[in-house]
Amino acid sequence: MTLSKPLSLRPGVKADVPEAAMVLAAGMGRRMRPLTATRPKPLITVRGRALIDYALENLARAGVKRAVVNTHYLADQVEAHVKRRDHGLDISLSDERAELLETGGGCKKALPLIGADTFYVMNSDNIVVDGPMDTLRLLAERWDPGIMDALLLLVPLARATGYSGNGDFRMSGTGALLRQSGTRLAPFIYSGTQIVKRELFEDTPDGPFSFNLIWDRLIESGRLYGMAHLGGWYHVGTPAAITATETLLASE
């Protein structure tokens, strides 16, 4: 498979979907206060569903078999929620009560539970709505381990609902990613969903670190790639964003 081929939009396309996923749910949710004073951000509800349920249900629908959810802030509530609901996944919990490990460190700690050489990583505070195809299956179809070590689902800045930053990446015609330099806006933002290789966590800190450390290394080696999302995407980062997101989702 090469990245120069067009994306297939045929119904029923078969892809080698990774069997495992990491769902990041350990953050403090400070920008969501006061709602997160007594409830962790992954359990904030949008249209009657907890944010984390959107991620877990997308994974199950794509054919993922098991997921690891990390916990830190109000961890007992997250643990009780994922155990109480049937998401169609074998769910394990990675306990970060002692120390919040950030995105990269949290994944590294969870590797023994993930138990796969290639897996999805998803944030629990973004809602991904499929376009013409199942987004996670399309990402798996695009995955080419011969030339990439991480494949990021990207959202065009102009369609990044709820996002207020300057963007994250620019993307070449082959899908290779670079950081945007200077003060110009980057055309794409990271959606909170990616496929990664387990080996990326070798030679990384044992404590807290961000995925940015891994991504910057991959940019230097030319092995960080992206795919533009064809559907809807909503970042639910503040209380005000909840109502706005609910209105937009109702029109999807």
> What digits encode the pLDDT tens for the residues 120-129?
999 998 999 9
- DSSP H or E stretch at residue 240: helix 239-250
- Alpha-carbon distance 102 to 235, whole Å? 18
pLDDT at 9 over 80: no
> What digits encode the pLDDT tens for the residues 62-86?
999 999 999 999 999 999 999 888 7
pLDDT at 246 over 60: yes
- CA nearest to 104, candidates 176, 22, 177, 165: 22
> What digits encode the pLDDT tens for the residues 140-158?
999 999 999 999 999 998 8
CATH of domain 20-250: 3.90.550.10
